[in-house]
Amino acid sequence: MSARSIPVADRVTDAFFALDTDFRFTYLNERAETLLKRSRSDLIGRVMWDEFPQTVETQFPDGFHRAMDEQVPVSFEVYHTHLETWFEARAYPSETGLSVYMRDVTERKEQETTIAQHAAVIEAIDDGVVTLDPTREIVSVNDAMERLLGQSRDDLVGEHVEVVPELAGIADEDAVEMGRAIADVDVGNTAKRQLEAPVTDADGADRVAEIRIVPIEDETATIAVILRDITDQHEHERIAASLHEVTRWLLESDDPEEICAIAVHSGSDLLGLQISGIWLLEDEHGYLEPVAGTAGAYEEFGGLPRFNPGDGLVWNVFEAGEIERFDDLAEEEEVSNSSTPLRSQIVAPIGTHGVLMTGSLDPNRFDETDAELLSTLAENTRAALDRAERERVLRDRTAELERQTERLEGVANVLSSDLKRRLETVADAVEDDSDLDWEFPLAEKSVEQTLDRAERLVDDVREFARNASAVRTRSRVTLERTVGEAVSESKLAETDVVVEEDAALRADSDRFAYLLETAFDDAAARADAADVTVRVGVLGREGSPRLRGFYLLDDAGDPPASAQDRLLEPPSDGERSGDGLGLALVRAIAEAHDWELSIDAEANGRTRIEVRDVTTLEPREPEEEPESSPEPTWGDR
């Protein structure tokens, strides 16, 4: 730097100093000497970082190195702790070093801080605010604080801040903590303090407040105390924590109805949803069936409705799979019941299982928080129902494997005993014939019967083995027509079977016909060539769908003892097996349709086979035309 430029630098009001490429001082003006409290003679030729090690932890090193390395001007603001002064530093690089200007911007920074503090107070205008002077007396009070404390501004201004926790019902320990926070902020130990405390408003309602203490600067006030009502936030957090506990209860149950009951009553107790219910999809008929409801729902409606496909808002939400909030049902066009007393409701899908719905007699009863919490409850319920379904499938598979094992053992017995008996019959006939002009004694009819029985046994084994899988697509069939098809393939004559009442049902037509054919053949085998009559009729015509079904009543003679057990199991070695697996196969096909089969041996020598839980069975009027076209179903039984 030339000697001619030195007087000019000395006249600059900003502090100015120059550094060489090793960051040694080469020049300082008078303002810089004053700022650094060191003379030129002390600093010229000395490294800045050695003489002022406290600057190493500031923005100076990074800023100066960047300016030197990249040869670009840099600027930054830095606070000088000892001088309690804010400076704006600007460094300009050259080939020989840096020229640094430092300007005092403390006043500007204080103005910015004041503006920010005032902005914070303005932002909190909906919160209760009081400002305090250095003696902790109240300078100003906003409207929200007046409402909270139930006192007018005139009554509060000039009072000591202790009146605030007293009027707000703040506990002594929280009031002490509040006083410490005010002191810390006032003396500059911290830029702000925040705490939470229970309060009681002017109406006597218990609330939770967030208390913030921040410094401010105006003519008289130095501290602002802001009270924000966070009761709803606290309640939301409490409910969310409770819902996690509810989730544990849900996942401990494997009963869908119990799971739904826990969910509904949890919603009532935790969320205050007094009119709520859960509807699950009824797979067989495809409608949403109510399975759990609150006491309020039953008191208001006397029962919960069923929702069929296309039934208004509830079904639409179920199909869409997204939660919906309806603030005023009077304005909705797709309400399933236009006379419903409900005015607002939330419908939350439970995955593919069904829906969780809550309603109110008042419009605009629910907000986004209610919807969010209900969605969480519905999702937890879905997870529990998924788990229960997996557990059920596992139990069913285990039970089915056990049944399959039993069936395979029965099949093995049948194969070993029945085929052995057929071969022994042929062998005995051969040994009894000693004529030299020997002819096969079982020619024609005897051989044909033996081979027919063996063929029937193979068919039965094949049909029995495939019972482990579900039935194929079901279609609408009629009892009378299927009986006719089965009789034509059985050992009975058409005149031996009487259909006393016709009905329509949904079934795998081929396997249903084979069920009837097998039952007819079993009756023929038990009759042992004697006359036999089988009557077919309808059960549970007017009763519950689970009692609906059909029966077969035959007079083939007394069945063996313990008919229910022995007629429904594959015959063991040494027992009569007829021409195949008999009623064990009838049971297997019925179970594949999810039907229930039972057998009773009546005192007059008749045997009654009942097949129930055929929930799709409907008695037919004589003039009805039968239908048999298959169509997709949701598990019709």
pLDDT of 430 higher than 50 = yes
pLDDT for 584 equals: 80
User: Could you count the other beta carbons within 10 Å of the beta carbon of residue 591?
Assistant: 14
The answer to whether residues 83 and 66 touch, using CB atoms and an 8 Å cutoff, is no
Above pLDDT 70, what percent of the chain? 78
Give 631's contacts (C-beta < 8 A, 6+ positions apart): 473, 475
Residue 453 located in a structural domain: no
pLDDT for 24-36, tens place per residue? 999 888 888 888 8
pLDDT confidence bin for 158, thresholds 50/70/90 = very high
Minimum mean pLDDT range among 184-198, 350-364, 616-630: 616-630
Give 379's contacts (C-beta < 8 A, 6+ positions apart): none
Q: What is the largest CA-CA distance in the chain?
A: 153
Above pLDDT 90, what percent of the chain? 29
For residues 217 and 420, the model is more confident at 217
Tell me what the mean pLDDT of segment 276-294 comes to. Answer: 89
Instruction: Name residue 198's beta-bridge partners.
Output: 208
pLDDT of 68 higher than 70 = yes
The SS3 assignment for 154 reads: helix
3-state secondary structure 219-231: CCCCEEEEEEECH
pLDDT for 418 equals: 63
What CATH number is associated with residue 579? 3.30.565.10
Residue 359 located in a structural domain: yes
Residue 625 located in a structural domain: no
Residue 252 shares a structural domain with residue 374: yes
pLDDT for 93-122, tens place per residue? 988 899 998 888 888 787 677 656 654 554
pLDDT for 498 equals: 95
Residue 313 shares a structural domain with residue 206: no
What CATH number is associated with residue 361? 3.30.450.40
Residue 215 shares a structural domain with residue 304: no
The answer to whether residues 518 and 582 touch, using CB atoms and an 8 Å cutoff, is yes
For residues 471 and 102, the model is more confident at 102
Residue 82 shares a structural domain with residue 138: no
pLDDT for 162 equals: 93
For residues 406 and 157, the model is more confident at 157
Scored b (16 or more CB within 10 A) or e, 293-329 reads: bbebbeebbeebeebeeebbbbbebbeeeebbbbeeb
Dump the DSSP string for 351-371. TTTEEEEEEESSTT---HHHH
Q: Alpha helices, DSSP H only, in 124-230?
A: 143-149, 153-156, 163-167, 172-186
Average pLDDT, rounded, for the chain: 80
pLDDT for 298 equals: 84
Minimum mean pLDDT range among 132-136, 208-212, 405-409, 618-622: 405-409
Residue 140 shares a structural domain with residue 273: no
Give CA–CA dist 581/599, Å, rounded.
16
Residue 198 located in a structural domain: yes
For residues 430 and 403, the model is more confident at 403
pLDDT confidence bin for 408, thresholds 50/70/90 = low
Q: Which of 174, 208, 229 is the last residue of a domain?
A: 229
The answer to whether residues 98 and 91 touch, using CB atoms and an 8 Å cutoff, is yes
pLDDT for 31 equals: 86
H helix or E strand, kind and range, residue 198: strand 193-200
Tell me what the mean pLDDT of segment 433-443 comes to. Answer: 51
In terms of Cα–Cα distance, which of 485, 468, 469 is closest to 477?
485
Residue 465 located in a structural domain: no
For residues 195 and 273, the model is more confident at 195
Tell me what the mean pLDDT of segment 481-497 comes to. Answer: 93
Q: Alpha helices, DSSP H only, in 92-171?
A: 106-123, 143-149, 153-156, 163-167
Q: Alpha helices, DSSP H only, in 433-508?
A: 445-465, 479-489
Residue 66 shares a structural domain with residue 129: no
The answer to whether residues 215 and 236 touch, using CB atoms and an 8 Å cutoff, is no
Tell me what the mean pLDDT of segment 540-561 comes to. Answer: 79
pLDDT of 565 higher than 80 = no
Chain-centroid distance, C-alpha 25: 70
For residues 426 and 9, the model is more confident at 426
Residue 138 shares a structural domain with residue 81: no
Number of domains in the chain: 4
pLDDT for 574 equals: 45
User: Could you count the other beta carbons within 10 Å of the beta carbon of residue 180?
Assistant: 13
The SS3 assignment for 536 reads: strand
Minimum mean pLDDT range among 233-242, 374-383, 417-426: 417-426
Residue 251 shares a structural domain with residue 379: yes
The answer to whether residues 305 and 323 touch, using CB atoms and an 8 Å cutoff, is no
Give CA–CA dist 413/401, Å, rounded.
18
pLDDT of 185 higher than 70 = yes
pLDDT of 257 higher than 80 = yes
pLDDT of 631 higher than 80 = no
pLDDT of 297 higher than 70 = yes
Range with the largest mean pLDDT of 261-270, 336-345, 491-500, 560-569: 491-500
pLDDT of 164 higher than 90 = yes
Residue 51 located in a structural domain: yes
pLDDT for 9 equals: 45
Residue 74 located in a structural domain: yes
What CATH number is associated with residue 217? 3.30.450.20
What residues make up the domain containing 186? 125-229
Tell me what the mean pLDDT of segment 182-193 comes to. Answer: 88
The SS3 assignment for 264 reads: helix
- Give the strands of the sheet with 344-350, arranged side by side: 287-293, 275-282, 354-360, 344-350, 324-326
Residue 479 shares a structural domain with residue 605: yes
In terms of Cα–Cα distance, which of 200, 221, 212, 216 is closest to 157?
221
pLDDT of 582 higher than 60 = yes
Residue 11 located in a structural domain: yes
Q: How far apart are the first and last CA of the chain?
A: 102
The answer to whether residues 105 and 86 touch, using CB atoms and an 8 Å cutoff, is yes
pLDDT for 344-358, tens place per residue? 999 999 999 999 999
Residue 246 shares a structural domain with residue 204: no
Q: Which of 178, 206, 229 is the last residue of a domain?
A: 229
Residue 73 shares a structural domain with residue 138: no
For residues 481 and 591, the model is more confident at 481
Residue 338 shares a structural domain with residue 253: yes
